[in-house]
Every structure is written in C-alpha cells, then in structure tokens.
Amino acid sequence: MTSSSSSFSASRRIHLLTGVVLVFLGLLLARLWQVQLQQGAEHVSDIKRQSIRPIRLNPLRGRILARDGTPLADREARLNLIFHVSEMRQAGRKRRTIGHIVKKSFELARMIGRPAPLTPTKAKDHLYYRPAMPLTVFKNLSDQETAILAEMTPPVRGMEIAPQVERQYPLPGIASHVLGIAARQTPSASLGMKEYRSPYVTLELHGRTGLERKYDEVLAGTAGAKLVRVNTLGYVHEVIGVPKLPVDGKDLVLTLDLGAQRAAELVLRGHTGALVLLDIHTGGVLAMASSPTYDLSKMTGRLETTLGTALNRAVGGSYMPGSIVKPLTALAALECGAIDTSTVYECTGAYKIGKRPIRCARRYGHGELTVVEALRVSCNPFFINAGILTGLDRLIPIYEAVGIGENPRIDLPPPIARGIRPNRAYVRRVWNETWNAHNTALVSIGQGVFTLSPLQAAMFCTAIANGGRLYRPYLVQSILNPDGSAWSNTAPTVEHRLPVKPAHIDTVRKGMTEVVNATKGSGRNARNNAISLAGKTGTAEVGPRGNRHKNTWFICFGPVEDPQYAFACVIERGESGGKTVAPIAKRFFEQWLLDQATPGHGSGTE
C-alpha cells in the first residue's frame, strides 16, 4: 500500500513538472512568435537605425558677378545659435529632454532680449524626426547678442554659435529679375541625394527663378559627407573617419554692364515695362530691366506671392509692336522690288481697304514720301501700301530671319515669349477667318496678328545695326571654378542672317537715323549729349473696346558712325513712342555714358 502510494505520488510529480515545462515552452514559443513575426519589422528598423549614416555637408553656393567682377549675388556668413540635441539628453522619458531644451531656449531668449522661438511641439518634432541634426534656435545674431552668449558662465551643454552662409545682395534692387530668387529647400535627387535619408540632410539654397534657376546645378556645387554612428533613437554617438569635404559652387560672370544696368533700373521707375540693351557684335546682354521690380535683399512673406508678380517683361512679355516693325516692312519691300529708294507714295491721311480706312498719325496726311522720309515720320499709309505690294509670303522670310515666333534661346528659364509671327494658319485657327489684304495691311505697321518681346525687338535692331547678323542673346559670359580659373566661356553664335542686300540695310539705317536726328523725326526726343542714335518709334493700341490703351515703344542703335549697342524699350499705357519712350532712351544713355565718363559722378541710382 505504501509502495503503491509512493509510486502514484512520484507519477503525479512527473506529470506536474512536465506540464510546467510545457507551459513555459508554450510561453517561450509564443514570445518567439511575437518577436519574430509581430515585431520583426520594428526590430529590423531599430537595427538599421543603430548603424552608420552619412550626413550631407552642404557646399557654398557660387556667386553671380557683373562683367567687371562686381558681385551682384554674393554670400555672407551669418551667426546662428544651435543646439546639438544629442548632447542635451536627459535621463528618463523623451519629454524630459524636450522640456530641458525648451527651458534652455527660454533662458537664452531672456538673456539677449528676443522672443522665445521654441515651443514644445517644435522641439518634439525635431527630436522625433531629426535628432542627428543641429536644431536652430536663433538666426542672424548681432555682435552684441553673440558677445552675451559667448560669455555665458557656465555655458549650456550642447549649445553652439555656428555660421550659416546666406545669399547677400550688395546692390539691392539691381538686376533682380535677371538674378532670380534662391530659396532654401531639400536638395533634389539630381544633386546626389539618393544615398541620404531626410533626417540627415539640411536645407540648401536652390534657384527658383532667373539665373539662379537656369544655372542651379553649376551654382550649387557638390556636397560632401561625414559618417556618423547613430543609436536606435537616432542620436549621434560618434563621427567615423575623415569627412569628405564639399566642393563649392562655381561663379557666373555676366555680360551685364553695371553702369548700364543701374541706368536701366533708374529710368524705368514709376513705369510698367521693360528695357534691353545688347552688344550688336556678340548678342551679349549689357542691360536687362523689368518694371515693376523687387528687392531680393528685402524679400519677406510667402515666396509664391513674390513669384506670382515676378514676370520678367523683357523676355516673358509678349507685346504688339506697332511701328517699330516698319524697318522690316521696308527691307522686305526693297528686297522684292515692290519699292525702291526713289519710289514716291502720296499719303492723304488714310489708307482705305474696302470701306475700312486705316488712318495715319498725321490726320491730313504727309503728302509725297520716299521710304527714307516715310521712316522718318512713321507714315502708316506708306508702309501699308508697301506691305500689300510685297505680300505676306515675302514678308514672312524677314520675320523668320529676325526670330519672331521662335524661342530666342537666351540662358534664362521659362517663361520666354516666342512672339506671334504673322501667318494664315493662326487667323484660320483663332479667328476662323481667311487671311486677307486687311490683315496684311495691319501686320505691315505692327498691328493685328503680331507680337514680340522687348528682347526680340532689341535682337532685330541688332541685325539692322550690324549689317544683317542675328545673334543668339546670352547673359553668362563665363563660368569660374572656385579657385577663379575659367571653367567655360560663351562664344557668340549667329542664329540667322537677314536675306537682304547690304544696300537695302543701308537705306533703312539712313531712315532710322533721320527718325532721331531730323527736325521732324518721330524720335527726335531721343537726341542726347552722350551718343548719336538711329531709331524707330512705335505705338500699339491694345485691349477691348471699353478699355483700350497704348503700349509704346522705342528701338535704336548707336553710335550711328560705328554702331556698338542696340536698345529696345516698351512702356505700357504710354502716350506714344515719341513722347513717352524716346525721352526715356535719352535719359538712359546720358545716365549711363555720361556717368561713366565723368570722374566722381554718382552711381546713377539716386
């Protein structure tokens, strides 16, 4: 009995122990299942985070210089106060570290007399998403603030006064549309971002408009990197090895003449319009201004708001040209033999096509005129007659040769106006009409189906001035490496040649000379004490019947004896080309050329 009871008791203990073992084994298997399957992805992520990471080191953005080397867009080191949050960790939960960071930022704000910039939410977001990167607390410290913070005793652990390079504009308001806007953003994949994760990258300046955008990769440079070891929370433990230093961006040297650019900005103040000055032997842009403009050094508010009002009218504006195209009509008519230098036409004050008269600016007419005289007084009936005798098909090759209706291929980003080249297809598609003599009459004097940009107007003026070569316009003369050596240079490129005889160009140039220099020339208000000019005025009525207004033009080249420059200016809602824009041309050339010639003379911006 005793032996049997003892055997049963031993058996029960074995079963009990077996059961306990099986329970623990089950718990172990359940835990393994939870760790391997349910939490596996989380552990893999932790392992990956507790590893080596590259931190992108930003390069310095290149400068943009005028042709004489004067910086237009420079770089300036400004001091910021930053926290290295890895060094500010507090024992316990993350909220203790957040509280510590916010508390220290409040203490520092009181010391330097600034509003406290950090909120618990901002600090929390940084700790959760970017713990390996510095947290910027105060930007643009003054000398006094820097001195106060540097003399703190004891210093705040994890605090550093660090430089950050920003865009600087030594000549505020000069060439803003050309330079364009650069704003801080996350570097794109095209700039070597594939190997970096967003928590290990800081914002860099990148171009949004103008040259800053067109040459963004050239200006941006090449990033460097340092390897760091981070833990599961993303904090940096140590720097590994020697950092790879960034290569700074290249500098752009522009074709812009600083004196001409200042003069252009000055004469456009108070107007809506644009001005372009080109070198007739290269196509280099010596001045390009658009009004209204903005000051890049004072940009505040939403960037999108500025971008919405930042149209560069010099290249992006598309305007009906009015009478500035009459030299082109004259070239086509002379070349095809519709007229010659001795042809006389009698202007009676209007040209009638059917029952629709197109009037001349001189109500009672100009009387008998040759082509040179007609250019001088800008006679509508003369050029309507010449255009109709020539015909659209023989006008179009001239328009093509001066680039109307095609992208001028200047080194700026869109929008770039192509203009509208007069053609039958456009009238059929847009107006559902067949091209007729009235359409030809209108385009012969720069009305109707015809638009171009101020840049294109300056380009065709260049071709007339230099004997028939249409150059591609450009703004960047050369690109320099960070050490100052040349990386590339721009060579002049001839895009088209005027399909006309030199003698016909000479005739048109003679007429344009009289526009400015004859007693009754329509552009006589452009005469000045700095340079002799040959030009052409233009006035185009635009807008619906209830809101008609005039866009006014003046184009010219000079000096007449040995042409070097071609000029085009449009002013919206002016009175006429002769009364509104010709005086602006006079002011521009005197401001620019007399300013350069007079020692000690002011900058021309006052």
Domains observed in the chain? 45-77+162-254 (3.90.1310.10), 81-130 (no CATH), 258-293+312-478+488-597 (3.40.710.10)
What pLDDT does 596 receive?
67
What pLDDT does 43 receive?
54
- Given a cut of 80, whether residue 265 has pLDDT beyond it is yes
C-beta of residue 382 within 8 angstroms of C-beta of residue 333 = no
Q: How far is CA 374 from CA 18, 371, 471, in A?
A: 118, 5, 28
The radius of gyration of the chain's CA atoms, rounded to the nearest angstrom, is: 36
Q: Summarize pLDDT for 544-562 with one digit per residue, the tens.
A: 888 899 999 999 999 999 9
What pLDDT does 5 receive?
58
What pLDDT does 606 receive?
33
C-alpha 446/C-alpha 443 separation (Å) is 5
- Given a cut of 50, whether residue 128 has pLDDT beyond it is yes
Query: If 0-12 CB within 10 Å is exposed, 13-18 middle and 19+ buried, where does residue 546 land?
Result: exposed
Query: 290-317 burial string, b = 16+ CB within 10 Å, else e?
Result: bbebeebeeeeeebeebeeebbbbbbbb
- Given a cut of 90, whether residue 218 has pLDDT beyond it is yes
At 213, list the tokens: 């955008």
C-alpha 568/C-alpha 551 separation (Å) is 13
What pLDDT does 132 receive?
72
The DSSP code sequence of 480-547 is E-TTS-EEEEPPP-EEEE-SS-HHHHHHHHHHHHHHHHSTT-TTGGG--SS---EEEEEEEEES-GGG
Instruction: Give, as one character, the DSSP assignment of residue 598.
Output: S
What pLDDT does 197 receive?
47
Q: Summarize pLDDT for 82-127 with one digit per residue, the tens.
A: 888 888 888 888 889 999 999 999 999 999 999 988 899 998 888 8
- 380-390 helix and 392-401 helix, angle to the nearest 10 degrees: 100
Instruction: Give, as one character, the DSSP assignment of residue 296.
Output: G
What pLDDT does 604 receive?
38
Torsion of CA 162, 167, 168, 171, to 10 degrees: 180
Smallest Cα–Cα separation from 566: which of 204, 244, 287? 287
For 437-452, the three-class secondary structure string (H helix, E strand, C coil) is HHHHHHHHCCCCCCEE
- Given a cut of 60, whether residue 568 has pLDDT beyond it is yes
Q: Summarize pLDDT for 292-346 with one digit per residue, the tens.
A: 998 898 875 455 455 555 789 999 999 999 999 999 999 999 999 999 999 999 9
Q: Summarize pLDDT for 197-217 with one digit per residue, the tens.
A: 445 566 788 899 999 999 999
- Given a cut of 70, whether residue 45 has pLDDT beyond it is no
What pLDDT does 157 receive?
86
Smallest Cα–Cα separation from 230: which of 194, 189, 197, 187? 197
**Residue given tokens 């510590």 in the structure block:** 100
At 94, list the tokens: 């993350």
What pLDDT does 183 receive?
85
The tally of CA atoms less than 13 A away on the side-chain side of residue 187 is 27
Mean pLDDT of the chain: 87
Instruction: Give, as one character, the DSSP assignment of residue 322.
Output: G
Share of the chain above pLDDT 90, in %: 64
Q: Summarize pLDDT for 161-194 with one digit per residue, the tens.
A: 888 888 999 999 999 999 999 988 776 544 444 4
Residues 6+ apart with CB under 8 A from 88: 97, 100, 101, 104, 157, 158
337: phi then psi, degrees, rounded to nearest 5: 85, 10
C-beta of residue 474 within 8 angstroms of C-beta of residue 455 = no
C-alpha 46/C-alpha 593 separation (Å) is 69
What pLDDT does 38 receive?
59
534 pLDDT band (50/70/90 cuts)? very high
Question: Nearest 5°: CA angle at 291, between 289 and 296?
Answer: 75
Strands 71-83 and 159-168, bridge-based pairing: antiparallel
Q: Summarize pLDDT for 361-391 with one digit per residue, the tens.
A: 888 999 999 999 999 999 999 999 999 999 9
Give residue 112's identity as a one-letter amino acid code: I
The DSSP code sequence of 19-58 is HHHHHHHHHHHHHHHIIIIISHHHHHHHHHHSSEEEEEEP
Neighbours of 501 (CB within 10 A): 13
The DSSP bridge partners found for residue 529 are none
Mean pLDDT of the 502-510 span: 98
Strand (E) positions, 245-338?
A: 251-254, 273-279, 285-291
Q: How far is CA 557 from CA 158, 344, 560, in A?
A: 64, 27, 7
What pLDDT does 335 receive?
98
